[in-house]
Amino acid sequence: MRAVIQRVTQANCKVNDETTGEIGLGFLVLLGIEDADTDDDLQWLAQKIANLRVFSDENGLMNKALADVDGGVLLISQFTLFAQTKKGNRPSFIRAAKPDKAIPMYEQMIKTMTELTGKKVEAGIFGADMKINLLNDGPVTIIMDTKDKDNH
């Protein structure tokens, strides 16, 4: 799994001009799922995101997590995070999980993040043509890959 986490002051997702998810302060999370991903990967990544300390404290230092700032999460499925661009100019997405694997994992991530944060996780619609609006705060953008979880 790969996640691009952006600290935002606001973000929303629209499909056909209908808002499917919207948050104020918090994280816009773009999530890529690949065939090799397991429930352990999902649990590890969800914990890392929920506990990521990138919100400013009283001294302006990045010491606070989502819970500390009552932040929200907007979770967007994005298979293009597994684009392979080594050959040619047209990306290959062969590593991205097919919908029969990716949809249940995406839905499980929504449930897990909701449990960890104690707040309803807002979301896009899997496979839809989504329009994402965000106001990146900082900007702070963190990239996580579950392949890195075993490397210390």
Q: Which residues of 88-115 are buried (b: 16+ CB within 10 A; e: fewer)?
A: eeeeeeebbbeeeebeebbeebbebbbe
Residue span of the structural domain in which 16 resides: 2-148
- Please tell me the predicted confidence (pLDDT) of residue 123: 98
Structure tokens at 5: 């986490």
Mean per-residue pLDDT for 48-77? 97
10: closest CA among 113, 142, 133, 139? 133
Could you say which of 80, 114, 117, 141 is catalytic? 80
Condensed to tens digits (0 to 9), the pLDDT of residues 128-152 reads 999 999 999 999 999 999 998 876 5
The count of structural domains within the chain is 1
Structure tokens at 99: 């919908």
CATH number of domain containing 83? 3.50.80.10
Q: Containing H/E element for 8?
A: strand 2-15
The pTM of this model reads 0.94
- Please tell me the predicted confidence (pLDDT) of residue 95: 87
55: confidence class by pLDDT, cuts 50, 70, 90: very high
80 is catalytic: yes
- Please tell me the predicted confidence (pLDDT) of residue 150: 76
